[in-house]
């Protein structure tokens, strides 16, 4: 599926609306699904011709044999490969899933149990203070918007890599405030110096010096602008090399402005989702051409 153009912007707008109602610690691209049109009136032969014949995968026990438990599915169905699929099957709206760790935005902000955190999408206060509220979702929204528009993760680290995620956060977004910096106990593995004074986004030379041993795990763009300016990149199963497309300078500036409203170290300064959806970047959807098969 193509991430660029008006389609990704319309999805981005839908995401910002969803966050007006709910807080979900697991807000990330993996838990965002595209809604399909009603396929009931479409003949099965046409569906299979357009979308591919369903591929069943049996669910087996640890011994590799079929089970007889009535409360467990017999099989799973592999997801559809949407590369090259006629876009008329896609509504353009989304569905969020995995609400096991969520709560209403006007309800108590507490977690009933400890669970794994996807650190590339976790706010600094969640990662370092275990502090969870709607501001964390606003941070995750910024990371998700970046990924939808560029096809790349903003924080390119494994989901369980807390410290690698934090090091890339500093590289992309600038130095942390002192209270967060001192809570990051293993920061010396990645940086030699104290953080720069917190303020407007600063150019790379003001960042703490990197240890040479950490360069491999902290490589990549040294600012949010550099990350966006790399453009859109996505893969196609029939091609060996990824497909790359430029993002115009006008949109780069507007998109960075949008992301900067929520990718703030101070959670109290992140713009509410209902205000973010009024940002001029979303209006660019009317001027961009969708990509993919129509």
Q: Does 292 fall in a domain? A: no
CA–CA dist 146, 252 (Å, integer): 11
Q: Domain limits at 133? A: 5-107+114-286
What is d(CA 134, CA 22) in angstroms, rounded to the nearest whole number?
A: 8
List residues bridging with 23 in a β-sheet: 103
pLDDT of 21 reads: 45
Q: Does residue 138 lie within any of the structural domains?
A: yes
Distance CA 96, CA 236 (A): 25
- Cβ count near 223 (within 10 Å): 18
* Pair 258, 281: CB distance under 8 Å: yes
Tally: H helices and E strands in the chain: 10, 8
Cα 161-164-166 angle, rounded to 5 deg: 105
13 in a domain, yes or no?
yes
Residue 291 included in any domain:
no
| Tokens 């995968």, residue located | 57
- Can you give the CATH number for the domain in which 185 is found? 1.10.510.10
Whole-angstrom CA distances from 75 to 78, 81, 144, 168 are 10, 19, 31, 40
Q: Is residue 219 part of a domain?
A: yes
Q: What global pTM score does this model have?
A: 0.75
Number of structural domains, the chain? Answer: 1
Q: What is the CA radius of gyration of the chain?
A: 21
Q: What is the pLDDT along the chain (294 residues), one digit of tens a residue?
A: 344 444 455 555 555 545 544 555 566 777 777 788 899 999 999 999 998 899 999 999 888 888 888 888 999 999 888 777 888 888 877 777 776 666 666 655 555 555 567 899 999 999 999 888 889 889 998 999 999 889 899 999 998 999 999 999 999 999 899 899 999 999 988 887 655 554 434 433 345 555 444 443 455 778 999 999 999 888 777 778 888 889 999 999 999 999 999 999 999 999 988 888 889 998 875 555 444 444
The answer to whether position 293 is within a domain reads no
Please give the Cα distance from 38 to 46 (Å, whole number): 14
CB atoms near residue 150 (< 10 Å): 23
Note the pLDDT of residue 198: 45
What local confidence, expressed as pLDDT, does residue 248 receive? 92
pLDDT of residue 217: 44
Do 13 and 285 contact (CB within 8 A), yes or no? Answer: yes
Q: Which of 125, 119, 205, 130 is nearest to 155 (CA)?
A: 119
DSSP assigned state of 24: E
C-alpha span between 19 and 135 (Å, rounded): 10
Is residue 220 in a domain? Answer: yes
d(CA 221, CA 226): 5
C-alpha dihedral, 158 to 134 to 260 to 127, nearest 10°? -40
pLDDT of residue 131: 85
In a domain, 34, yes or no: yes
């Amino acid at each position: 599926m193509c991430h660029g153009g008006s389609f990704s912007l319309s999805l981005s707008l839908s995401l910002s609306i969803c966050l007006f109602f709910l807080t979900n610690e697991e807000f990330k691209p993996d838990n965002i699904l595209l809604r399909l049109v009603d396929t009931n009136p479409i003949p099965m032969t046409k569906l299979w011709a357009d979308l591919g014949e369903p591929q069943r995968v049996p669910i087996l026990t640890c011994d590799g044999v079929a089970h007889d438990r009535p409360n467990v599915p017999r099989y799973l169905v592999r997801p559809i490969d949407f590369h090259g699929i006629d876009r008329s099957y896609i509504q353009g709206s989304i569905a969020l899933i995995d609400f096991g760790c969520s709560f209403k935005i006007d309800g108590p902000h507490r977690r009933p149990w400890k669970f794994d955190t996807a650190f590339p999408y976790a706010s600094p206060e969640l990662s370092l203070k275990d502090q969870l509220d709607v501001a964390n979702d606003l941070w995750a929204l910024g990371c998700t918007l970046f990924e939808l528009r560029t096809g790349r993760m903003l924080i390119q680290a494994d989901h369980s890599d807390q410290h690698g995620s934090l090091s890339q956060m500093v590289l992309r977004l600038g130095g942390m405030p002192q209270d967060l910096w001192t809570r990051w106990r293993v920061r010396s593995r990645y940086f030699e110096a104290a953080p720069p004074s917190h303020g407007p986004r600063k150019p790379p030379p003001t960042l703490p010096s990197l240890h040479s041993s950490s360069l491999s795990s902290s490589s990549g763009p040294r600012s949010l602008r550099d990350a966006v300016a790399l453009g859109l990149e996505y893969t196609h199963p029939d091609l060996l090399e990824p497909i790359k497309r430029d993002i115009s300078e006008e949109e780069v500036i507007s998109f960075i402005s949008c992301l900067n409203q929520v990718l703030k170290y101070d959670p109290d300064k992140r713009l509410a989702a209902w205000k973010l959806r009024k940002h001029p970047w979303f209006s660019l959807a009317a001027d961009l051409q969708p990509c993919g098969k129509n």
